[in-house]
Amino acid sequence: MFPSYTPSRWNSRRILALEALEDRTNPAPPLLQTIPGITFDEDGANNGGGFSVPPDPNGAAGPTHVVSIVNTSIEFHRISDSAQQVSESLDTFFAPLSPTALLFDPKVVYDQFENRFVVVCLEQSDTPQISRVLLAVSDDSDPNGTWRFVAINSRLSIGGGNAWADYPGFAVDEEAVYVTANMFQFSGSSAGVRLWIIAKGTTNGWYAGGTPTVSAPLNPYPSGSPVTSMPAQIYGTPPAGATGTFLVGYDGISNGTNESVKITRIDNPLGTPSFATQLVSVGDIDNTGVAIPGAPQSGTATTIDAGDRRVLNAVWRNSHLYFAATVDPGSGPDAGQATAHWFDVNTTNPGSLTLTDQGNIGGEDIAPGTYTFYPNVAVDAGGNLGIGFAASGPSIFPGAYYTGRKASDPAGTVQATGTLQAGVAFYVREFSPGENRWGDYSGLALAPDGWTFWAFNEYAMTQGTPIGTGLGRWATEWGRFSFNTPPRVTSPIPDVTVNEDAAPT
């Protein structure tokens, strides 16, 4: 919005003022910058011809660089000119930890308390039985410098057998790094959820290059049903008292009428951690009697695997938890379709959490019948919510999209969808017969300025690189946007007096 004024030769006074937007649903904020990310073929080249599906895209933003990560590669880009500075395999990146088994499910976050990037990755082998959580932290905000590494043995004896870690959750607060994992017996059965808490140790511990302090594997659900649990990334002033962060989960929890999300508060994380779990009712938002349906795509009858109902990430700021999942609405324009869904839960009273707001992220404004899935969220310093997600439909190819809502937007609504990168071909690259995987993640990062979002996600690029009958290829893209454009005004603009009759000097 430009300053507005009405010039008049009779007035020697001109008032500059910023015009307020109407209280209405607005178009998505425009992309301010895009950066091409890693592609299917580039990932294969980094790994000696070993290609990876699905890519599991995830990313984090620092003040001068973005770090992107997929299932087998990591890249650094400089923001000022979009230049790629590093592109290498995860085996190369984690070489100081001497991995010998498969590396998978990486994630990256930016620690805005200490101004460092933090990376997690899992290592697993059935024979011999190996399971490790691999961690790395940069020594400052530039990822091109020194990294400090930690390996945690996650092969655990649970229920009379050895279990391995899968599908990590990952977050930081002001004092610790949190890693969750779904545990599975090497024989195949589920073995619950475990949590590791790693002290940052900025003086003489891990962050300082010293010996890391890692908790024993913790079971946040010693009774009741476990659920895939994402620790919340903490922004701004941390929670008061002994609270560290919260674990958030949803997998279609229902009493037959209404659904609920499971939220677990972690207290005293660096002492003797304790857990307090609550179910927060969210109403009848999901037809939980059916699996999340595959998403149609243009050009083929083969659908895209839209994943399941689990929460993919969570963030906390100013006594509110924000997160998203995929549901199958029972009614409305998105009924019967995979549909991303966002939640806002108030944590002001830690003993009695309440749902503040929620809503669907439909894709009908992209194209009729569009499915939305694999959502990821972040929240800026003004309480504005950014959301990145994947979408596909009968008349479009699988692509990467974003939206959000300002704190002042009407309840239950999001703004119009923005296109990060539309798909350019249909995608068929089956993980196994009949399993056309997508995801399993997406990325939506908040820059350290507290106002700028960076979306990172995959889209279907041109077909090629035949392996068997598969020709689908994925690529990734970064996109920067903000609800604070033009820049936020933090103090009144003074009146400006112009003497139009003054002689030139």
Q: How far apart are the first and last CA of the chain?
A: 32
Neighbours of 3 (CB within 10 A): 13
| DSSP class per residue in 337-385 | S-EEEEEEEE-SSTTS-EEEEEEEE--TTTSTT-EEEEEEEEE-TTSPE
Q: Which residues make Cβ contacts (< 8 Å) with residue 89, sequence separation at least 6?
A: 46, 47, 72, 73, 74
Whole-prediction pTM value? 0.91
Angle CA(397)–CA(401)–CA(402) in degrees, nearest 5? Answer: 165
> Fold for domain 24-485?
Methylamine Dehydrogenase; Chain H (2.130.10)
Show me where the domains of the chain are located. 24-485
Phi/psi region, residue 91 (left: phi>0; alpha: psi -120 to 50; beta: rest), is: alpha
Contact 217, 154 (CB under 8 A): yes
Instruction: Tell me 91's DSSP state.
Output: H
Closest C-alpha to 348, from 441, 499, 241: 241
Q: Which residues on adjacent β-strands are paired with residue 439?
A: none
CA 120 to CA 188: how far, in whole Å?
Answer: 23
Using one digit for the tens of pLDDT, what is the confidence trace for 325-354? Answer: 999 999 999 999 999 999 999 999 999 999
CA 323 to CA 375: how far, in whole Å?
Answer: 9
CA 117 to CA 149: how far, in whole Å?
Answer: 12
CA 370 to CA 362: how far, in whole Å?
Answer: 8
Residue 13, CA distances (Å) to 20, 128, 355, 496, 501 in order: 22, 81, 50, 7, 12
Instruction: Tell me 254's DSSP state.
Output: B
CA 158 to CA 165: how far, in whole Å?
Answer: 12
| Tokens representing residue 183 in the block | 């545990």
Using one digit for the tens of pLDDT, what is the confidence trace for 104-113? Answer: 999 999 999 9
- The β-bridge relationship of strands 396-405 and 65-70 is unpaired
CA 67 to CA 399: how far, in whole Å?
Answer: 21
CA 445 to CA 79: how far, in whole Å?
Answer: 14
CA 124 to CA 136: how far, in whole Å?
Answer: 17
Angle CA(98)–CA(103)–CA(107) in degrees, nearest 5? Answer: 110
- pLDDT per position in the chain (505 positions), as tens? 322 323 332 233 332 222 233 232 578 999 999 999 999 999 999 999 988 899 999 999 999 999 999 999 999 999 999 999 999 999 999 999 999 999 999 999 999 999 999 999 999 999 999 999 999 999 999 999 999 999 999 999 999 999 999 999 999 999 999 999 999 999 999 999 999 999 999 999 999 999 999 999 999 999 889 999 999 999 999 999 999 999 999 999 999 999 999 999 999 999 999 999 999 999 999 999 999 999 999 999 999 999 999 999 999 999 999 999 999 999 999 999 999 999 999 999 999 999 999 999 999 999 999 999 999 999 999 999 999 999 999 999 999 999 999 999 999 999 999 999 999 999 999 978 889 999 999 999 999 999 999 999 999 999 999 998 899 999 999 999 999 865 444 455 455 554 555 555 4
| Tokens representing residue 426 in the block | 């249909």
DSSP three-state, residue 96: helix
